[in-house]
Amino acid sequence: MTAIISNNQSYKQSLDRAAKVNWRIEDIIGGDKRLDFTRRFMPEALAQVNEISCLNDMEKIILNQIRGNSYLHLFGLVEEFIVPCVINHVKTTGLENITATQALLHFAEEESKHIRLFRRFSEEFELGFGRRCEGIGPVQDIANAVLEHHPLGVVMIILYIEWMTQYHYLASIRDNFRESLDPQFCSLLRNHWLEEAQHTTLDTLIVEQLVQELEPSEVEAGVEDFFKLIEFLNGGLMMQVQLDLESLARTIDRSFTEAERQEIQSIQAASYRWTFIGSGLSHPQFIATFKRVCPAQQMRLLEVTGIYSR
C-alpha cells in the first residue's frame, strides 16, 4: 500500500500542533468551573431524547445529562485501551525515527490525561447530579478484551473512534447555539477535541505502517477482528442503554410501564448505535483509509454502516 502522508513531516506537525493546544485539567474543570444541571449537556443530534413521548421536559433534561455522563464514561473506557496500544506500537517502532517516537509518546500522554479528565468529570457529575450513574465495566476488563484482538483491528477501531469524535464536535457542538447547552460541558468537549484533532493523523500513520509490514492474510485477519470489535462495542452500548434507563428511573423515582420501557429503550438503542458506531464508520476520512487497507471489504463496510445508521 502506498502511504499518502509524508511520515516525518506529519509526525513533526502533530508535535507542533500539540504544543499549541496543550491544556491542564485544572484549567477546565473543578473550582468555580461547575456543571450547570439546569441545562442539557448533549446536543439532541447525539442524545435523541426529545422524541420520547413518555417523558416530560424535566425528565428529558435528566436523561440528557445521564447520556452526557455515559458519553464521557465510554470515551474514558476507549482511552484505557488506546494508551497501551500506542505504547506497544512505540516498542516495535524503536528509536530510529525519534520524531515519530516522541509524537507517539505524546499521543499516549494526552490520552492518559483524558482518562484523568473523564474521571474528574465523573466526580463532578456525581457531586452535582446527586447520585452515581453506572457505566459499563469493569473498564479494565473491557479494555483487555479489546486488546486481545489483532493489533490492526484494534488500531482501526481507534481510528474510526477518533474520526467520530471530530464529527461529533464539529457537526453538533462547536456552533450549536440553539439548544443552550451547558457551557462547561461544551468547554470540556472542545478541549478534548483540540487534542484529538491531531490523533487522527497519528492513528492513520500507525494503520499504514502496520499494513505495510503485514502479509495480506494478516491484514485480512486484522480487518476481520475490526468487524468483530464493532459487534463487541454494540453489545456494550446496549448494556449502557439499560444502565441509563435504571439511572433515570432511580433519579426521578418512577416505575416505567413495559410500553414506556420499550419506547425509551428502542429510541436510545438507535441513538447509541448511530452516535458511537454509525457516525464514525460513515466518516469520509475513515472510509478512505479503510479502502486503502482492504478494498475488497469495502462493500461489507457499507453494509455494516447501514445497520448502525439512522
Angle separating helix axes 284-293 and 298-307, nearest 10 degrees: 140
pLDDT of residue 203: 93
Greatest mean pLDDT among 29-43, 172-186, 252-266: 252-266
The whole-chain average pLDDT of the chain stands at 93
Q: Is the per-residue pLDDT at 5 higher than 80?
A: no
Q: Is the per-residue pLDDT at 20 higher than 50?
A: yes
> And the C-alpha cell for 206?
500507525
| Rounded Cα gap, residues 143 and 132, in angstroms | 22
Which of 72-81, 157-166, 187-196, 228-237 is predicted least confidently? 187-196
Which of 4-13, 173-182, 224-233, 276-285 is predicted least confidently? 4-13
> And the C-alpha cell for 272?
447509541
Q: Is the per-residue pLDDT at 38 higher than 50?
A: yes
Res. 19 pLDDT band, cuts 50 70 90: confident
Q: Is the per-residue pLDDT at 1 higher than 70?
A: no
Average pLDDT over residues 28-49: 94
Q: Phi-psi bin for 35: left (phi > 0), alpha (psi -120 to 50), beta?
A: beta
pLDDT of residue 283: 96
For residue 138, whether the previous peptide bond is cis, meaning omega lies within 30 degrees of 0, is: yes
Q: Is the per-residue pLDDT at 140 higher than 80?
A: yes
pLDDT of residue 3: 40
% residues pLDDT > 70 (the chain): 98
CATH tag, 7-20+54-307: 1.10.620
Q: Is the per-residue pLDDT at 2 higher than 80?
A: no
Taking only the tens place, the pLDDT of each residue in 251-287 is 999 999 999 999 999 999 999 999 999 999 999 999 9
Average pLDDT over residues 222-230: 98
Tally the C-alpha atoms within 13 A of residue 2's C-alpha that lie toward its C-beta: 1
Burial-class residue 91 by CB neighbours within 10 Å (0-12, 13-18, 19+).
Answer: exposed
pTM: 0.93
Kindly report the CA angle at 29 between 177 and 82, in degrees rounded to 5?
95
pLDDT of residue 292: 94
Taking only the tens place, the pLDDT of each residue in 69-127 is 999 999 999 999 999 999 999 988 777 788 888 889 989 999 999 999 999 999 999 99
Residue 235: count other Cβ atoms within 10 Å of its Cβ. Answer: 11
Q: Is the per-residue pLDDT at 17 higher than 90?
A: no
pLDDT of residue 160: 96
| Rounded Cα gap, residues 182 and 70, in angstroms | 16
Average pLDDT over residues 176-195: 92
Average pLDDT over residues 286-296: 95
How do the domains of the chain map onto residue ranges? 7-20+54-307
> And the C-alpha cell for 154?
484494534
pLDDT of residue 49: 98
- DSSP type of residue 257: P
